[in-house]
Amino acid sequence: MDRFIPLLFAGFSTGAVYALVASGIVLVHKASGAVNFAQGDLLTLGAFVYLAFTGAMPPMAAVGLTIVVLFLAGGAIERIVFVPLRDQPRLTVAVATFGIALAIQAGLTVWQGSDPQSVPSAFGHGSVDVFGTPLPVLSLWTILITAIVFAGMYALFQFTQIGRMVRALAADREVAVLYGVPASGLNFLTFGLSGALAALGGVLLGPSIAISPMMGFSIVLFVFAAVTIGGFDSMGGVAASAVVLGVAQQLLTGYVSSAYTNAYPFLVMLALLLVRPTGLARPIAAERF
Amino acid sequence: MTSTRASTGTRANTALGSGLVCYLVVGYVIAAGGDGYLLTVASLAAVNVVLAVGFSIVYAQSGQFSFATAGLAAAGAFGYAWFAKHMPAEIALVAAVAATTVLGLAIRLATIRLSRLYFAIASVAVGGLITIVLVNWESLSGGASGVGPVPAVTFGMVDGEELAGVFLIAWLLSAVAVAAGSLLYRSAWARDLLVVKDLRHIGQNDGLPIRRLELEAYAVHAAFTGLAGVMLASTGTFISIASFDISMALQVLIMVVLGGSGRVLGPVIGAAVITPLPEILHGAGKWSGMVYGITLLIVLVALPDGVLGLWDRFRAWARARLVRPGTVRVEGGSP
Amino acid sequence: MRVRNPGARHVVALVSLCGLAAAGCGHLGGGGGSDDTIDIGALVYQTGPLAQKGATNNLTMAADDINAAGGVDGRKIKIKFYDIGGLTPQQGRTAAQRALADKPDALIGPSVSAQTNAFLGLLPKAEVPLINVSAQRESDPGQPQGNPWTFRIYHRVDRMAEAISRVMAEQLKAKNVVVTHSTDDTSTHVKDDVVKDLKAKQVKVMKIASYTPEATDLTNAALATRGADAVVALGYPQPLGLMVKQMRANGIKSPIVFDPGAEAGVKLLSPSDLTNTSMVAACRPQATQGQDPVAKKFMDAYTSKYPGSYVNGYYYEAVQLIAQGMRNSKGEGGAKLREGLAAIKGFKGICGESSADADQNFIHDYKVVKLDGGKETLGGIVSGLTGAY
Amino acid sequence: MNAPEVDALEVKDVKVHFGGVYALKGVSLTVPSGMCVGLTGPNGSGKSTLVNAVTGVVDAAGEVRAQGTPLQLSRPGRAARLGLRRTYQTPRVHPKLTGIENVCTGHRLMAGRSASAAVFRRMRAGAAERDRRRDAEAALDRVGGSAAADVTGAVMTYGQRRLVELARVLVAEPRVLLLDEPSAGLNDTEVTALRTLIADLAAEGVGVLLIDHRISLLNEVCDRLVVLEEGLKLHEGEPADVWRHDRVRAAYIGELDDAGN
């Protein structure tokens, strides 16, 4: 049974990172009703920006700066793409985010080349003994930091004025604007926040794997499985399903077969969608058929 | 009152006829004069035309966004490669297209109760799953190293080894697909699909069989995509799972969005512009990926109706300018 | 009554499709293999996932070196680069067609086997020999898809397996081995052969752990290696580097032997992770420069001319072999050049000794490259490799 | 009157709730064939919800029969199969289709409207299309919307959109017709045309449920009038005496001066 605990922890740590990316997608969906296919590539961008900064400054400063840069990148995407396409159908907006994903991937290939690169960890190296089995230090930090971030976001959305306004915007855009909610300003903020979350994901995931410009898409596919199960509007639901999927993937790979590692999240998602076509959480636009 | 509308039917047929003749002439010119490189690029163009027409019917006309294009094309290609071992190439073609259509129907039936957004995501999963299953199905797909040499489709009219001949057959197949696409676009069925796309509940309350129409649109998409997979195998003589990755779904999307919807001409233009782009972009070297992403963005933001939309707006603008003074314009009446 | 022109819309389609034809016709008049130069078409990756593999520098330097020494019987070598752009067979075939349209004397092939297989059939009609830089056995002349126009400068799957199993049995004297590999086709073939060879040498294979080429978390594969006294690691650079990192992170220190897939992966690992690791490669001037003066001369020249650029001995040697083939065929291209290439025996190049065997493969002695501390040193040479079956 | 006609539409004790809010608290009404029943009431009284419940677009409880056959609630599209059609408060027309094409989509003749027919059975599809276009033109003429025949939905005027939607519904030769505020935004001549049209339809045996606020229209064309308030039936009867009913006046018009207007 010596493999169970490490696999479980590996599942928790990847699940935690995917929860960060998933919450970014939920934020964008809350604010603008659109699905952001480029969220995975924002994570890749975050990892490469962090890599570039580590060369010039101590790791923690690099982490901080990366989060700020990605915050502005998220806001810029909202201004350049989402504002002009506001009244287009949701699918066209989703397709536009593909354009962003392609541009980020190609930009990174030009800037950093396509060879995989390793990223120094800002949160410790090597392994530490927990319950007798050596576990990577980084994954323990990842789980801890993600928990803190989610607690912070929960507080932001439940108790602060900004949080209430964002939730009002998500509930009913027109009415919220009528009540004086500064929709465009808030949009910029929520997109920026989703960029910052992606940056954190990049900083935490980067050192534990090798980063390459093309890795964004496989991450977003996994995250979509979690978002579909957790529902597009509930941060908690999405975070929980991301972690569950992360652990399920590791255990299935360990104990069933590793040839289908990438397929497990989809199999779980498809099985669930066939049972409940609108996802587990509160159904949003329930298409009545 | 014999309505003037009947005449547009005949006029549209002549437009289709002349369009197809032009299309075939271009194919013949390429087959006669082109060298190996041009024939290969033109074969890929023919494959892309068929893919784009199929995708534009399911996405631009019926509003269903499907990412499984790469998976379905792979099913068509590997199906054809396998069938061709046991039967003549032409029958293998029909069998592969039929198999892919059934696969497409099964996919859509399984996900019929999903809303469009969830179906788009589910189709990403299905596309990924088909690819993973094919990679592990050694006997069909030859694993990661692929399958070949695959016999070419010749209908007995050309020599299977001869590049130009195999290309011409692929071009003819794409011409048939364009003709079928044009008929589909001008049909009452395509009109009903528009209602399924934009006025879903209204169509339902008017008794339109929404689910049947969506299934049919997806089956047509699967058939065209399967045919494209077969043509890719036939003209390429060698296929591996690496040919069918997510970038194929993106490329088809850019073609349909760039070309514009509503007429079969849209996807044809999209394919004609996007296929040679990477070849032309070789000069741009490492910047070609960037150009792709940014083209998609610009087209979506600036040209929501694509090239066709631009052309229609230009014609409306030109007609308003060039109408000779003194001609009485009857409101809405065609001259 | 103004008749609306029904075909107006279709003029647009005709114009854009003619654009396609014109873009192609430009290639009709490509330069043929004119007499005063030897034209080599090199299929390389300037964009896409394998971009920036440094091949262009190695090829250019080889041509410059030969031309500086008077070329081949006075004829200069000219290399033209064709960007493949991605991993799909269609891209490989299109790039090859573009190269063949310029009527080269010889081609230097892509490094992805599926792409090589996609255009092998074109070579006999074009009468252009290909120096193949991929590992799959299918492209050998004797194979169903192969034809006599292909020569291999790279390692071959079965020989690599034989070399690795001999290192495990003879050098490391391992008794309990775990084999890990990514599920891409080349690694799977090497894995099968390694397992067969090890069993023949009475070495117990405890476990075989596989993972998908694009896996982003390999804890499972890393943990499977616990308890082995030596590990074989085969596969793509990214997962390979990741697995070793996770093995060390989970406290597993056993020695590891890589196949060349690790070349790029090694850059991802810190020097401490690399303790007790080695790689087997067919041509590795970086490691053999200590013992081989020819490799030393090349390495010094290359690192001074292209500091920090990626050394790829295969491409450099391929150009040298084509030049030697031309000398053997007295400057004649086509079938004569093919015979010239097949006649090469005991050619002293930067990869050591190259001689074409019946399968027209050039390299038979594989090098064991120790990677400890991130520096490459020669850990021995495995010679007399015939391929296990 | 020949054999007693089965009722066009029979609604029994229909309840609809959204979360805690009860939009309909059990409403019953019948629309006999060949009659026009008016349905009115202040805004938010549940008029449109009732139509949505009958057409199955909203989850509802209770019993509904169209042409005597029971209708499965909460399943859209079922009512249409039994010859029931409805229009919308804001007319819904497809922007890219012309008037004729919009009307054709409402036609019940499904021949030639499948992918295979469009490519393989072109003769039959062509014939069916000509029939549909002929009926569509007739329907457009009948509602006075022929001018919009060749105009695409995006450039149609509000009035044209209303008439095209009406034609789309009529071309299906419905047995039960639910009109949701058809007179909104029409000028007087258009209202009189609408009145004669509804009268003709009733004469042809169609059961019409007319939801509107225009009291003059309701009084002149409806045989009976039902008044709803907060999801319940306040009163039902002949149009003339319904307005004299004090609870209706109080709910509708507030305290009335003695002149009764």
Reported as a single tens digit per residue, the pLDDT across B2-31 is 334 444 567 777 888 888 888 889 888 888
Tell me the residues of chain A between 134 and 163 that have a Cβ less than 8 Å away from chain C.
Answer: 134-136, 138
Q: Which amino acid, residue C29? A: G
| Across A166-175, C96-105, C136-145, C364-373, least confident range | A166-175
**Whole-number mean pLDDT of chain B?**
83
Flag whether pLDDT at B77 surpasses 90: yes
Which chain B residues are Cβ-neighbours of A259 within 8 angstroms? 136
State how far the Cα of A130 lies from the Cα of A133, in Å rounded to an integer.
Answer: 6
Contact C123, C147 (CB under 8 A): yes
State how many domains chain A has. Answer: 1
Flag whether pLDDT at C313 surpasses 80: yes
**pLDDT the model gives residue C1:** 32
pLDDT band at C7 (very low <50, low <70, confident <90, very high): very low
**pLDDT the model gives residue C52:** 57
User: Does C20 sit within 8 Å of B42, measured CB to CB?
Assistant: yes
**pLDDT the model gives residue D193:** 87
Q: Which regions of chain C carry the CATH code 3.40.50.2300?
A: 37-154+293-356, 158-281+367-382
Q: Which amino acid, residue D128? A: A
Q: What is the per-residue pLDDT across D196-225, written as a single tens digit (0 to 9) for each?
A: 999 999 999 899 999 988 888 888 888 888
Flag whether pLDDT at C24 surpasses 50: no
**pLDDT the model gives residue C207:** 87
**Whole-number mean pLDDT of chain C?**
82
Q: Which residue has the higher pLDDT, C33 or C154?
A: C154
| Across A218-227, C294-303, C349-358, D63-72, least confident range | A218-227
Decide if A99 is inside a domain: yes
Decide if A9 is inside a domain: yes
**% of chain C at pLDDT higher than 90:** 11
| Tokens 């192969």 sit on residue | C146
**pLDDT the model gives residue B224:** 96
Question: What DSSP designation does B328 have?
Answer: P
- Does ipTM come in above 0.95? no
Flag whether pLDDT at B72 surpasses 90: yes
Average pLDDT in the A155-167 region? 83
Which chain A residues are Cβ-neighbours of D76 within 8 angstroms? 288-289
Q: Does the domain at residues C37-154+293-356 carry the CATH identifier 3.40.50.2300? A: yes
**pLDDT the model gives residue D257:** 53
Flag whether pLDDT at D186 surpasses 70: yes
CATH fold of D1-83+174-261 reads Rossmann fold (3.40.50)
| Across A49-53, A54-58, D256-260, least confident range | D256-260
Average pLDDT in the C31-60 region? 75
pLDDT band at B174 (very low <50, low <70, confident <90, very high): very high
Q: Which amino acid, residue C209? A: A
How many CB atoms sit inside 10 A of residue C207's CB? 16
Tell me the residues of chain B between 245 and 304 that have a Cβ less than 8 Å away from chain C.
Answer: 245, 247, 263, 265, 268-269, 272-273, 275-276, 278-280, 282, 285-286, 288-289
**Whole-number mean pLDDT of chain D?**
85
**pLDDT the model gives residue D4:** 55
Q: Which regions of chain D carry the CATH code 3.40.50.300?
A: 1-83+174-261
State how far the Cα of C240 lies from the Cα of C222, in Å rounded to an integer.
Answer: 10
Flag whether pLDDT at C25 surpasses 50: no
Flag whether pLDDT at B193 surpasses 90: yes
User: Beta partners for D11?
Assistant: D29, D64
**Cα D2 → chain centroid:** 26
Contact B96, B230 (CB under 8 A): yes
| Tokens 């894995």 sit on residue | C191
Average pLDDT in the D71-87 region? 86
**pLDDT the model gives residue C8:** 47
Exposure of C14 in the CB half-sphere (CA atoms within 13 A): 16
Question: What DSSP designation does A281 have?
Answer: S
Range of the domain at A111: 4-119+132-285
| Across A221-235, B311-325, D175-189, least confident range | B311-325
Decide if A125 is inside a domain: no
pLDDT band at A73 (very low <50, low <70, confident <90, very high): very high
pLDDT band at A234 (very low <50, low <70, confident <90, very high): confident
CA angle B73, B74, B76 (to 5 degrees): 65
Which chain C residues are Cβ-neighbours of A117 within 8 angstroms? 267-268
Q: How far is A145 from chain D (nearest CA, A)?
A: 38
Chain D contact probe: residue of A87, A287, A288 with most D CBs at under 10 A: A288
State how far the Cα of C352 lies from the Cα of C285, in Å rounded to an integer.
Answer: 8
Decide if A31 is inside a domain: yes
A95 Cβ contact list (under 8 Å, min separation 6):
B65, B253, B257, B296, B300
Q: Does the domain at residues C158-281+367-382 carry the CATH identifier 1.25.40.10? A: no
**pLDDT the model gives residue C39:** 92
Decide if A104 is inside a domain: yes
How many CB atoms sit inside 10 A of residue D245's CB? 16
Average pLDDT in the B56-71 region? 88
**% of chain B at pLDDT higher than 70:** 90
Flag whether pLDDT at B178 surpasses 90: yes
What CATH number should be reported for the domain holding residue A40?
A: 1.10.3470
**pLDDT the model gives residue B286:** 61
Average pLDDT in the D7-18 region? 87
**pLDDT the model gives residue C2:** 35
Flag whether pLDDT at C147 surpasses 50: yes
**pLDDT the model gives residue C32:** 43
Q: What is the per-residue pLDDT across B124-161, written as a single tens digit (0 to 9) for each?
A: 888 888 887 887 787 887 776 778 788 888 888 877 77
Q: Which residue has the higher pLDDT, D214 or A285?
A: D214
**pLDDT the model gives residue B221:** 95
Flag whether pLDDT at D99 surpasses 60: yes
Let me know if chains B and D touch, i.e. at least 3 Cβ pairs under 8 angstroms. yes
DSSP string, A160-185: SHHHHHHHHHHH-HHHHHHTT--HHH
> Biggest alpha carbon distance in chain A?
59
